[in-house]
Structure formats: C-alpha cells, structure tokens
Amino acid sequence: MSVRILYFAALREAVGRSEESLSLPVGVATVGELQSFLAMRGEAWEALRAGRNVRAARNQRMVKGSEPVVSGDEIAFFPPVTGG
C-alpha cells in the first residue's frame, strides 16, 4: 500500500523534505499509526511523535489519528495554524 505524505511549515523544516511517497509496512493502518511509524525514523522525525501538537489531513480533510489510511491516500502533517 502506497501513500503520498506531505509535510508543512515547521515539520517540513524539521524533516528536511516537503513530501514523499511511502509503501506502508504491515501494521500501519491509521493516520496515528503512520505518524508514530514516521516518528521512529530518528531525531529529526521526533517532531511527529505522540504528544507533539501535530495536525493531520487525509485527502485534504482534517482527521484524527484513528482515521484509516488506504492505498493512494494523500496524508498531510502540519503544526496548528493560528490567525490574527
């Protein structure tokens, strides 16, 4: 199963890329599991670890970590945005 992952703002700076395509390993079936999997990549990726204030969207719709991920999805991670 392959998905496209987008990183925005401070997360893009932390991980050093704006996007990637990824074949998901067995056991990664939700947005939250994907986020945890990515956070285990190493130091720069800890910006995505649980407990950090990270928002997610699946196919341009805001979602919670329990949202399922299917092949072909576009998953975006970004810090909360404030206006003012």
Q: Tens of pLDDT along 39-54?
A: 999 998 999 987 788 9
In a domain, 21, yes or no: yes
What does the angle CA 61 – CA 81 – CA 69 come to, to the nearest 5 degrees? 30
Mean pLDDT, residues 54-72 taken together? 96
Domain assignment of residue 84, yes or no: no
pTM of this structure: 0.92
Report yes or no on 83 lying in a domain: no
CA distance 18 to 20: 7
What proportion of the chain, given as a percentage, has pLDDT over 70?
Answer: 96
Place of tokens 């928002």: 55
- The number of distinct structural domains making up the chain is 1
CATH of the domain at 32: 3.10.20.30
